[in-house]
Amino acid sequence: MSNRIITGRPLSRSEQSWCKAVSCGTGTTILSLLVSKPPNLSHLHNALQKLQNSHPILSSKITYSTAAAAFSLIIPSTIPLPPFKLNSFSPPSPKDDVVSLSHLHIILEHEMNINPWSIPNLSSSSGVPVFFGSVYELPEEKWVVVFRLHTVVCDRTTAVGVLRELKELMKEIEEKNGGVEMGNSCFGKVSLGIEDLFPVGKGKKGIWAHGIDILGYSVNSLRFSNLKFKEVSGPRCSQMVRLQLSIQQTSQILMDCKLRGIKLHGALSAAGVMAAHSDQRNSGDSLGYKRHIVSNKYAIVTLTDCRSQLEPPLSSHNFGSYHSAILSMHVVKRGETVWDLAERIYTSFTNSKLSNKHFTDMSDLNFLMCKAMENPSLTPHSSLRTSLMCVFEETVEDDLQSQFGLEDYMGCASTHGVGPSIAVFDTIRGGMLDIMFVYPSPLHSREQMGMMVEEMKRILLEDRT
């Protein structure tokens, strides 16, 4: 694999698109940890230093060339790598609409809306780091440790890897009482972008096929149904609603999926479409649709990890952004149950993946996302919403360990620039389903999304036919 790794590099086409999206606010990954004892900052610094040595992409910086209108990743030229900086803060003052939320939730939303990656910042000679860390001291002798990463270097697999490796490193360092061998760094090596690792022939599509697919996506996007928008003007920020189910409720939903031979993402997508369809019928023609239209088309984006299918194949240890999207459109049929719809959605996704659409359509979807950013009026009410929901093919499974005083954690990415109305981040911890639903505010309200999530829960648990 040595011949497929280089020192620094221009960003790939899909990564270029994400960097453009970050200027709008999309593309920030957050890992937020609640601990009940003071974090040993010396040990944490050592663990982060070793993490960066193992994954130098985390120590890279993003730069922007105005002349080339392109973004690049660079590696600092000093050895050893500069120490990771942890900033300390007091918790942000809660606003009126978040007084009932936990400190962990409030801090996550606060960090999710900090964007250091604007083009003026990236155009500086030194660039901007892709990885930031903060520690918030809470009044009740608890602490929140937050890591904020640019999505170009951190897809969901990477985020899970960062958390798991960091916990192992902290355990190793504490067992050795602070001393740890830093090992040999693979300094200066950054893996190629996803398009440069496509299997031969799988990403190819003729120019006419590209044109037809782009036209099809564009025309269909004008017919997509959306959630009712609450406020379409004013600056956007990201907010989150959390849903936690019991072991019994989780087991019931997973068993229903197993009986039908589908994955959880199919059920979550179907419940979201059903809930949105119910909301739209109840709101009449508030979105400009005629009351007599009973069949509306909803767009679902499903993200799939391509690592195992690339050439050469990558493992979860290869940090970066290696997910691809498959866009599908679905209509709720009269008399259809959520599980009927879930099977249709899952089958549609599976067939698209077997047809390699996660490779062949990547450039088309990136092109349309960029066009939406350049021409917001092409989207309903200039909302920059490109789909109803975004889900992941695989659910993360993890056990919440109490070591180091870790009580709880949350991880998700922002969506308020351009993208879906709802981004779904699902995890099973100790047999319990824990889901974060990220949405753009004030386009959607916290009350609206809370009701939407409760309706999804009701649909999944009560529709057993």
pLDDT band at 287 (very low <50, low <70, confident <90, very high): very low
Q: At what angle do helices 338-354 and 247-260 cross, to 10 degrees?
A: 60
Label residue 297 exposed, middle or buried (CB < 10 Å: 0-12, 13-18, 19+).
middle
Strand partners, 30: 148, 412
Asked if residue 153 and residue 113 are part of one domain, the reply reads yes
Q: Mark out the alpha helices in 56-147 (DSSP H runs).
A: 103-112, 119-122
Tens-digit pLDDT profile for residues 142-154: 999 999 999 999 9
The pLDDT assigned to 79 comes to 56
More reliable by pLDDT, 393 or 384: 393
CA-to-CA distance for 92 and 405, rounded, in angstroms? 22
Average pLDDT of every residue of the chain: 86
Percent of the chain whose predicted confidence (pLDDT) is above 70: 84
Asked if residue 248 and residue 324 are part of one domain, the reply reads yes
pLDDT band at 187 (very low <50, low <70, confident <90, very high): very low
Tens-digit pLDDT profile for residues 299-346: 999 999 999 999 999 999 999 999 999 999 998 888 889 999 999 999
The torsion angles phi and psi of 179, rounded to 5 degrees, stand at -90, 135
Q: Residue 236 sits in a domain of what CATH number?
A: 3.30.559.30
The pLDDT assigned to 316 comes to 93
Residue ending a domain, choose from 166, 195, 224: 195
The pLDDT assigned to 80 comes to 61
The pLDDT assigned to 92 comes to 84
pLDDT at 183 over 60: no
More reliable by pLDDT, 83 or 358: 358
Are the CB atoms for 227 and 276 separated by under 8 Å? yes
Asked if residue 336 and residue 227 are part of one domain, the reply reads yes
| Cα torsion 83, 24, 28, 203: sign | negative
pLDDT band at 203 (very low <50, low <70, confident <90, very high): low
CA-to-CA distance for 219 and 106, rounded, in angstroms? 39
Strand partners, 241: 437
Q: Residue 187 sits in a domain of what CATH number?
A: 3.30.559.10
pLDDT band at 190 (very low <50, low <70, confident <90, very high): confident
| 8-22, 185-199, 395-409, 414-428: least confident range | 185-199
Asked if residue 368 and residue 244 are part of one domain, the reply reads yes
Cβ partners under 8 Å of residue 354, min gap 6 = none
Q: Which two tokens stand for residue 32?
A: 């937020």
Are the CB atoms for 395 and 426 separated by under 8 Å? yes
Range of the domain at 231: 197-462
Tens-digit pLDDT profile for residues 82-97: 678 888 898 887 776 6
The pLDDT assigned to 25 comes to 85
Cα angle 73, 76, 79 (rounded to 5 degrees) comes to 145
Residue ending a domain, choose from 179, 195, 211: 195
Asked if residue 163 and residue 17 are part of one domain, the reply reads yes
pLDDT at 402 over 80: no
The pLDDT assigned to 294 comes to 46
Residue ending a domain, choose from 139, 160, 195: 195
pLDDT at 78 over 70: no
Q: What is the spatial order of strands in the sheet that 9-10 belongs to?
A: 9-10, 70-74, 61-65, 128-129
DSSP character for 114? -
pLDDT band at 197 (very low <50, low <70, confident <90, very high): very high
The pLDDT assigned to 98 comes to 65
Section 401-418 average pLDDT: 85
Section 211-225 average pLDDT: 60
Asked if residue 201 and residue 190 are part of one domain, the reply reads no
Asked if residue 82 and residue 62 are part of one domain, the reply reads yes
Cα angle 340, 345, 349 (rounded to 5 degrees) comes to 150
- Other C-beta atoms closer than 10 Å to the C-beta of 243 total 16
Section 246-274 average pLDDT: 97
Asked if residue 293 and residue 145 are part of one domain, the reply reads no
Q: How far is CA 345 from CA 262, 335, 342, 428, in A?
A: 9, 16, 5, 22
The pLDDT assigned to 207 comes to 55
CA-to-CA distance for 411 and 35, rounded, in angstroms? 15
Query: How many structural domains is the chain composed of?
Result: 2
Asked if residue 441 and residue 365 are part of one domain, the reply reads yes
- What letters, b where the CB count within 10 A reaches 16 and e where it falls short, cover 146-166? bbbbbbbbbbbbbbbbbbebb
Section 379-398 average pLDDT: 92
Give the global pTM.
0.91
The pLDDT assigned to 380 comes to 87
